Structure 1
Amino acid sequence: MSIKLSVIIPVYNAEPYIKRCMESLLNQTIQDYELIFVNDGSTDNSKEIIEEYQKHNRQIILINQDNKGVSIARNEGLAAAVGEYVGFVDADDDVEPEMYQILYAAAVSGDCDVVISNYESELDGHYIITSYPFPSEVVLTEGEIQKQILPFFLKSDQLNTACNKIYRKLLIQEHEIVFPANVALGEDGMFNIFFFSHAKKLKYIDYTGYHYRETKESATRNVSKKDYFQRAIEVYKSELPLCYSNLISEVNIQQFKAIKLIHSVLAYIHIYLEPSANMPFKDKTHYVKRMILHHDVREALPIYSKEMNEELGKYQKALLYLIDQKSLLGIYLITAYSRYRNRKVRGITI
């Protein structure tokens, strides 16, 4: 039997969510697929739950390893996968029943190396769909990937996730593409940049089948354990893969990097000043102060303001002004007002 698709699911202490995830994957309408669960040293009942499902579902494969992190877990799954294409799902998320049939059909019809779709994020009962400004339902060739897709990675994190895509397994094998093992944040983006730099055909479909659920344990809420800003600085200063050297001028690269860095800083300011952030108030304000005074942020800020001025609203311009003025109190007050206003608009009681 030929396996069309391998879906790789790294699992670490996902007991509250794993059944919902597994049910959504077992209900897929695509035929001839395998589900590779990589238990990354879970200390709860995740392993036992998967084993119970495995007894009644022959497409489930379970790999157990000591706790080594999500990248190594995914790489173990890649090594075991035999599907024509591979996809990735996080154990606390779920997918629509037709998702992989739709993505696989799109890949086969265009002989594509990769297919991109939208995804839906859920946070505290609110839903946001992330889509992309790429031509939809058409095959992009290598030149178009280089002009449209690869530069997008430089100025935005929105395309980084591996979970709303399927990838041709043969291309991964030929170029030995893996998730970086020693990166605390941003491993998906690095994997994608290397894969897309070798892709010859791509299709983006304006379809939403993946549901990302942000939990208290999710990376974007784990502010006390992961230094997001330091990782953003590392990306800002990092050497790019050789594929970029002939695609984009050095000036444009710096513009894109500045846009991405300040986008990240704006997002992190809101994350760290959110009342629910699991840090003492003093530590949160110290972290924000560290960001707005950082040399690279001071360097990138005027570039961002110039390039993005026409796209910014009054609130964003005011926040940028306060960052430029190094006004920690002003930043705290304006973000607090923004949260208050948004909750009033949504009808949430404070």
Structure 2
Amino acid sequence: MNIKKVCVLGGSGFVGIHLVNKLAMAGHAVRVLTRTHEHAKKVAVLPGVEVLEANIFDPAELERHFAGMDAVINLVGILNEQKTGRADKPLAGRGDFHEVHVELPRKIVHACAASGVKRLLHMSALKADPGAPSAYLRSKGLGEAIVLAAGMLPGEDESAHPDGSRFIDGYGLDVTTFRPSVIFGHEDSFLNKFAGLLKMAPVLPLASPDARFQPVFVDDVAQAYVSSLNNSATFGQSYDLCGPKAYTLRELVELVGAMIGRKRKIIGLSPRLSYLQAWFFECLPGKKIMTRDNYFSLQVESVCSAAFPTVFDITPSALEAVAPGYLVESSPYQGYRSAAGR
């Protein structure tokens, strides 16, 4: 393949900014779809990048903006819902996770097929599964299944689908999905959040302190996308992406404290108290620091069973080698903003 023109959904977000930059530097013409130009200021100045305002949930707009593109990359995702729902409800009552992680990928697949785009790359999540304990991981699992099913040919055996059911008709698209653990890097919402909390509080009550993660550097994730774009060996594949080392949540928070010079007393909460803390934060107004669904996600280890996929020829960066450079540079004001989820 010789992919030149790439349309990116979620190109103004944390991963998107890094990916769009790498695509532009590699000589690709990039079209970024965003709600407002204001959200995409950081990528609008890059060479070869076109920013268009669009309603990405409108199938007609997707088809129009995908026309003439060689590939589509979907990075759109949310960690918390403003509008919750249930899977047994009509579409309008299934909540934000279903709309963003399930119905949007379905619309993207249809729009790719209708506009003649053959290549589709999709962001899922490590341990995403339709049977996972959290609505977040369940919705991510369903969305990933839709994308992978779209890579099958029309009429292929239904038994080839992840759970034996037909999520969507096969379109024969060249699809690749990525399943990263928690992603870290400059302006991330994970390590920076804990840095902000440690700067504010002398004691930190920590929910699910033994939850395990294998953080992966945002540049490594972005490079995996770029490396995959023209590589036919990645078609129809799903890749787990992790850094070189796994940590408990307590270990990560202690590490962040050491990096920013804020050693604090960390009180690990029991499962019951962790759930109650999540419920309390969920009830607070404004952007959510934590919810009960986040708590359920923490019960699943976000750790890879194998090393970083060799097909990308990437040596994953160690958190200890990267994080001090941006955590230490952050101002106290930025720390407070991160802790508040702003």
Q: TM-score, normalised on structure 1?
A: 0.30
Q: TM-score, normalised on structure 2?
A: 0.31
Instruction: Decide which structure has the larger Cα Rg and report it.
Output: 1
Higher helix share: 1
